[in-house]
Amino acid sequence: MIRDITLGQYYASDSPIHRLDPRVKIIATLLFIIELFIVDNFIGFGICAAVLAAVIIVSRVPLSFIMRGLKPILFILFFTFALNIFMVKGEVIWEWKFLHITREGIQIAVFMAIRLVLLIIGSSMLTLTTKPLSLTDGIERLLSPLARFKFPSHEIAMMMTIALRFIPTLLEETDKIMKAQQARGADFESGGLMKRAKALIPVLVPLFVSAFRIAQDLAMAMEARCYHGGENRTRMHEMKLKTRDFVTFALEAIFLALIIIEARMF
Amino acid sequence: MEKIITIDNLIFEYSKSEGSENIRALDCVNLEIDEGSFTAIIGKNGSGKSTLAKNLNGLLIPTEGTVFVDGYDTADDDSIWEIRQRAGMVFQNPDNQLVSSIVEDDVAFGPENLGIEPEEIRRRVDKALEDVNMGQYKHKAPHLLSGGQKQRIAIAGVVAMKPKIIIFDEPTAMLDPKGRKEIMKIIMELHKEGITVILITHFMEEVIDADRVIIMHEGKVLLDGTPYEVFSQADVIRKANLDVPIMVELGDRLRKEGLDIPQGIIKEEEMVKALCQLKSQN
C-alpha cells in the first residue's frame, strides 16, 4: 500500500493549465496573492473569485478535490474570523459583558476570511496542476539569476528533487523497520500519546541510520556519474515559453491592472 | 591489445581513528586490463574487491602506486571527470543510486552533468533505455519498478554517458534470480558491443562467461587467468574460503569416485558432453 502513495497533491490531467510552463504558473500565483492584498472591497474580491473560478474550470480539477485542501485550514479561518470580529475597535453594534462587535470588525473579518479562502485555493491550484518535479525545475530556473550573487538555486532544486525521489524509499524503509520491531513484540497501536511517541523511538533511530547510509551511497553514485554541482550542467528538458504562456502573461497583466484601477476608484 | 587500465603497485589503506593502525585493503596490486575485455573479479567480503573497483574511477585515490584509466592518472584532480565519464560504475543497491523520480530524467542525469546539448541527451536517453529494454517505462517512477528493472535503469544511466569501461560492483547481489539473469544478459550484450566490462561479484556462476577471472584474497591477487586456468586450481580457491562453480565441484567429486572426467570443465554443457562420451565408451 505504501508503494501507491501520491506525492504532493498533483491532479493528473492534460488541461491547458497543466500544460503551462511552471515558471508562468509560479509567477501568476504570486501575483494573484499580491492582488488579493491590494483588493479591499467586494467588487475586487468578486473579480478575483471570477478569475479563480475560470482557472478552475479550465484546469478540469474537480471541486471536491480542491475543497479537500481547505479542510486543514478551517480552524485557522475560524480563529482569524473570531479574532477580527471581536478585537477591532469602532462603531459598536452588539455588546455582551466584555465582548463587543463593531461594524468595522465585521467588515475586516469577512474580508480576511474571503482573502484566506481565495489564497488557499489559488495557491493549491499551482500544486494541483504542476508535477512536483516540474515545480522544482521551475523554481530552479526562476531563481537562477540569483546564482550570480552566490545564491544556491541549483543546490536547493537538487535537494528538493532528491527529497521527492526518496520519500517512497524512506517510507518503505520505515515500514520494514516497524514490521521488524513488531515481530519482536513492539506495540505501536495501544496506549496514550506519550506511550505511542515513545514506542516510535526504536523506529526512528534505525531509520536515521539507514537514511545516512542511503545518503552516502547516493553521494557516491552521483559522483561516479560526474555530478559536480550546477556549473556547466545542461538539462534534457529545455523550458521554452510558448504562445499559451505569453497569452497567460497578457491576461495576468490585464487582471492586475483591473485590480489596481478598481482599488483606486472605490 | 590496447591496455585501457593499468594498475601499478596499488596500495590502498583506510584510515581508522587516530592512534590505531590503518587498515590495508589493497596490498601491491598489479593489473592490466585489455580494451574490450570482460574481466570478473571475485572474492569474499573484505577481500578488497570493492575497494579495487572504486580505485578504478577515482572514487578512491591510491595511498601508494598508480592507476591509469585510458591514459589518465586517477590521482590527478584535473582529469577526474574525464576518468569518470570513461569508466562508468553500477552499484549494488538499485534504490540508492537513482536520483530522480522519473526514469528518463534519471538516465539523463549523467549526460546533463557532462554538459551535453539537450537534443543529444534526448537521443542518448532514448537509445540507452532501448538498450536495456526499458523504453516503455521512461515516464514511470523508479519506486514502482522491481529491483531488476531499477538496476537496468541504473545501467542505462551509465550507458547514456558513453563510457568505454563499465565497472559493475556486485550488481546482482540484491536481486532475485530473474533479475539476476536479466542483468547478466545485458552485461553480456554491452560486452559484445565493445564496452570493457569489469564485473565484481561473489556469484561463481556469473564469471564463467568472462574472458578473465581474478580472485582477490586479503587485498592481494590470488589467481588471475582465463576461467579454465583459474578453476583448474580448485584447491587454492577453496583455501581462500570461496566456492568453486558447481560443475568444477561435480567434476572433482566424480574424479574422486574414479570416473575419468577431464580437468577444466566449468560449464554445464561441457559436463553433459563429457558424461555422454564416458557413457558411450562403457
Residues 216-245, chain A, touching B (beta carbon < 8 A): 217-218, 220-228, 232-238
Residue B240 forms part of a structural domain: no
Beta strand B165-169 pairing with B87-90: parallel
What percent of chain A shows pLDDT beyond 70? 97
Cα-based angle B106, B111, B114 (whole degrees, multiple of 5)? 135
Rg (CA), chain B: 20
Q: Is the pLDDT of residue B238 over 50?
A: yes
Residue B176 forms part of a structural domain: yes
Q: Does B141 touch chain A (CB under 8 A)?
A: yes
- Report CB contact under 8 Å: B99, A222: yes
Looking at the structure, tell me whether residues B114 and B69 fall in a common domain: yes
Q: Is the pLDDT of residue A2 over 50?
A: no
- Report CB contact under 8 Å: B84, A225: yes
Helix A132-143 with A103-129: angle, nearest 10 deg: 100
Looking at the structure, tell me whether residues B216 and B249 fall in a common domain: no
Q: B54, B60 in Cβ contact below 8 A? A: yes
Please, which residues have CB within 8 angstroms of residue B53's CB and are 6 or more apart in sequence? B41, B89, B167, B169, B198, B200
The tens digit of pLDDT for each residue in A252-261 reads: 889 988 888 8
Q: Which three cell numbers stand for residue A257?
A: 491592472
> Rounded to whole angstroms, how far apart are CA atoms B88 and A220?
12
Looking at the structure, tell me whether residues B128 and B255 fall in a common domain: no
Looking at the structure, tell me whether residues B218 and B262 fall in a common domain: no
Query: For position B279, what pLDDT does the model report?
Result: 85
pLDDT-derived band at A4 (thresholds 50, 70, 90) equals very low
Residue B99 forms part of a structural domain: yes
In 10 A of CB A5, how many CB atoms? 10
Query: For position B277, what pLDDT does the model report?
Result: 87
From chain B, pick out residues whose CB is under 8 angstroms from the CB of A132: 101
- Report CB contact under 8 Å: A7, B101: yes
**Which residue in A has a C-alpha nearest to residue B104's C-alpha?**
A236
What is the DSSP track for A168-185?
Answer: HHHHHHHHHHHHHHHHTT
What is the distance in angstroms between the Cα of B61 and the nearest Cα belonging to chain A? 13
CA torsion, points B130, B134, B138, B140, in degrees to nearest 10? 180
What is the distance in angstroms between the Cα of B110 and the nearest Cα belonging to chain A? 5
- Report CB contact under 8 Å: B84, A232: no
Q: Which three cell numbers stand for residue B47?
A: 577481500
- Nearest beta carbon to residue B115 from set A220, A233, A238: A233
Q: Which three cell numbers stand for residue A265?
A: 476608484
Domain containing residue B203: CATH number = 3.40.50.300
Cα-based angle B60, B66, B70 (whole degrees, multiple of 5)? 85
Q: How many CB pairs under 8 A join A and B?
A: 97
Describe the strand order of the beta sheet including B38-42 as a list of residue ranges.
B87-90, B165-169, B196-201, B38-42, B212-217, B220-225
Please determine, for the modelled complex, whether the ipTM score is greater than 0.85. yes
**Which residue in B has a C-alpha nearest to residue A210's C-alpha?**
B96
- Report CB contact under 8 Å: B98, A165: yes
Q: Residue A120: name the closest of A17, A64, A36 by CA.
A: A36
Looking at the structure, tell me whether residues B186 and B270 fall in a common domain: no
From chain B, pick out residues whose CB is under 8 angstroms from the CB of A217: 91, 93, 96-97
Q: Is A171 exposed, middle or buried (0-12, 13-18, 19+ CB in 10 A)?
A: middle
> Rounded to whole angstroms, how far apart are CA atoms B91 and A222?
11
> Rounded to whole angstroms, how far apart are CA atoms A46 and A52?
10
Place of cell 590496447: B2
Residue B64 forms part of a structural domain: yes
CA-CA-CA-CA torsion sign (A118, A120, A121, A122): positive
Looking at the structure, tell me whether residues B87 and B191 fall in a common domain: yes
Q: Is the pLDDT of residue A69 over 90?
A: no
Widest pairwise Cα distance in chain A:
72
pLDDT-derived band at A8 (thresholds 50, 70, 90) equals low
Q: Residue B168: name the closest of B89, B59, B262 by CA.
A: B89
Query: For position A3, what pLDDT does the model report?
Result: 47
What is the distance in angstroms between the Cα of A238 and the nearest Cα belonging to chain B? 7
Q: Is the pLDDT of residue A191 over 50?
A: yes
Looking at the structure, tell me whether residues B60 and B170 fall in a common domain: yes
List phi, psi (to 5°) of A132: -50, -40
> Rounded to whole angstroms, how far apart are CA atoms B42 and B231?
12
Structural domain that includes position B138: 3-234
Helix (H, G, I), strand (E, B) or coil at A238: coil
Residue B58 forms part of a structural domain: yes
- Nearest beta carbon to residue A165 from set B59, B88, B101: B101
Q: What is the DSSP letter of B78?
A: G
The tens digit of pLDDT for each residue in B263-278 reads: 778 888 888 988 888 8
Q: Which of B15-19, B209-213, B275-279 ranks highest by mean pLDDT?
A: B209-213
Looking at the structure, tell me whether residues B46 and B155 fall in a common domain: yes
Looking at the structure, tell me whether residues B18 and B90 fall in a common domain: yes
Query: For position B196, what pLDDT does the model report?
Result: 96
- Domains in chain B, number: 2
What is the distance in angstroms between the Cα of B103 and the nearest Cα belonging to chain A? 11
Q: Does A7 touch chain B (CB under 8 A)?
A: yes
> Rounded to whole angstroms, how far apart are CA atoms A17 and A59?
5
Please, which residues have CB within 8 angstroms of residue A45's CB and are 6 or more apart in sequence? A39, A111, A114, A115, A118
Looking at the structure, tell me whether residues B97 and B212 fall in a common domain: yes
Count, residues in chain B: 282
Cα-based angle A180, A183, A185 (whole degrees, multiple of 5)? 115
Q: What mean pLDDT comes out for the span A47-76?
A: 88
The tens digit of pLDDT for each residue in A162-190 reads: 988 898 889 889 999 999 988 988 888 88
Looking at the structure, tell me whether residues B72 and B198 fall in a common domain: yes
> Rounded to whole angstroms, how far apart are CA atoms A80 and A105?
11
Query: For position B179, what pLDDT does the model report?
Result: 92
pLDDT-derived band at B170 (thresholds 50, 70, 90) equals very high
From chain B, pick out residues whose CB is under 8 angstroms from the CB of A5: none
Query: For position B167, what pLDDT does the model report?
Result: 96
Q: B158, B125 in Cβ contact below 8 A? A: no
Residues 43-72, chain B, touching A (beta carbon < 8 A): 54, 57, 59
- Nearest beta carbon to residue B91 from set A169, A217, A226: A217
User: What is the average pLDDT value for chain B, to the nearest integer?
Assistant: 91
How far, CA to CA in Å, does B173 sit from each of B80, B129, B131, B143? 28, 22, 22, 18
Q: Is the pLDDT of residue A263 over 90?
A: no
- Domain ranges, ordered by start, for chain A: 8-130+239-265, 166-224
Query: For position B122, what pLDDT does the model report?
Result: 95
Q: What mean pLDDT comes out for the span A41-50?
A: 90
Looking at the structure, tell me whether residues B109 and B75 fall in a common domain: yes
Query: For position A73, what pLDDT does the model report?
Result: 83
Residue B112 forms part of a structural domain: yes
Query: For position A266, what pLDDT does the model report?
Result: 67
Helix A22-38 with A103-129: angle, nearest 10 deg: 180
Residue B102 forms part of a structural domain: yes
Q: A128, A116 in Cβ contact below 8 A? A: no
Query: For position B156, what pLDDT does the model report?
Result: 96
Provide the residue type at B24 as one letter: R
pLDDT-derived band at A1 (thresholds 50, 70, 90) equals very low
Residue B239 forms part of a structural domain: no
Q: Does B116 touch chain A (CB under 8 A)?
A: yes
Query: For position B19, what pLDDT does the model report?
Result: 67
Q: A73, A120 in Cβ contact below 8 A? A: yes
- Report CB contact under 8 Å: B109, A224: no
- Nearest beta carbon to residue B117 from set A133, A220, A234: A234
> Rounded to whole angstroms, how far apart are CA atoms B52 and A80?
64
